[in-house]
Amino acid sequence: MCRCCWLFTTLVGLVLDQVDQISGLGGDTGMGLSSIASLVLFLPNLSVTFRRLHDAGFSGWLYALNLVPAAAAVWFILSFINDFQASGLPADGDSLAAAIDEFLSTQSGPIYEALVAGVFNNSATSFISMLLSALAVSVAFIIFYTRPTKTAEQGNNYAGATAPQLYDGGTTS
């Protein structure tokens, strides 16, 4: 996404988020004006991103690389749920909150025992994979977005033929 579009989207989001907080529009659902603006601006931002990738000579479908960290996040969530169920930790909210408080204050209790036993090793691996894939995709997009624009003569398959010059520099005939 170009810097101006990113700046516009961020400023609109910040202003509308403040309006949501002041007016209480977000409420418990979180669907305030800032969320609606994000949904409205999604397609224009997507088209600008595709256009920028095309201008740099890449396929717009490279944007689908964002699905890699999303898939890693799904893997993390599923492995954490699986590890949590295998850990034998309490599933009800009050007992779990008490176990978390005990772990945070004394570094002991059922959570400590589950960690020492390696119950959460699978979810730790998937969490690290999620972080590394997100970092790799972010670096790749920084490289893609900062590449200079290529013309068709420079090998850009997505650049069309140049438009005819309609302005002749001010001379009249």
**Tell me: the pLDDT tens digits for 80-125?**
888 888 888 888 888 888 888 988 999 888 888 888 888 888 888 9
Q: Is the pLDDT of residue 67 over 60?
A: yes
What is the C-alpha to C-alpha distance for residues 66 and 150, in angstroms, rounded to an integer? 24
Report d(CA 171, CA 68) in Å as an integer: 55
What are the distances in angstroms from CA 100 to CA 83, 109, 114? 16, 9, 12
Tell me if 140 sits within 8 A of 65, measured CB to CB.
yes
pLDDT of residue 129: 92
Q: Return d(Cα 83, Cα 161) in angstroms, integer.
A: 56
DSSP 29: T
pLDDT, position 137? 93
| Burial call 36-56: b when 16+ CB within 10 Å, e when fewer | ebeeebeeebeebbbebbbbb
Cβ neighbour number for residue 130 with a 10 Å cutoff: 20
pLDDT at 96 (0 to 100): 85
Distance CA 58, CA 147 (A): 10
- Mean of the per-residue pLDDT values for the chain? 82
Listed as own residue / partner, the contacts of 14-19 with beta carbons closer than 8 Å and 24 or more positions apart are none
Cα distance between residue 104 and residue 64, in whole Å: 39
**Whole-prediction pTM:** 0.66
Residue reference for tokens 């991103």: 49
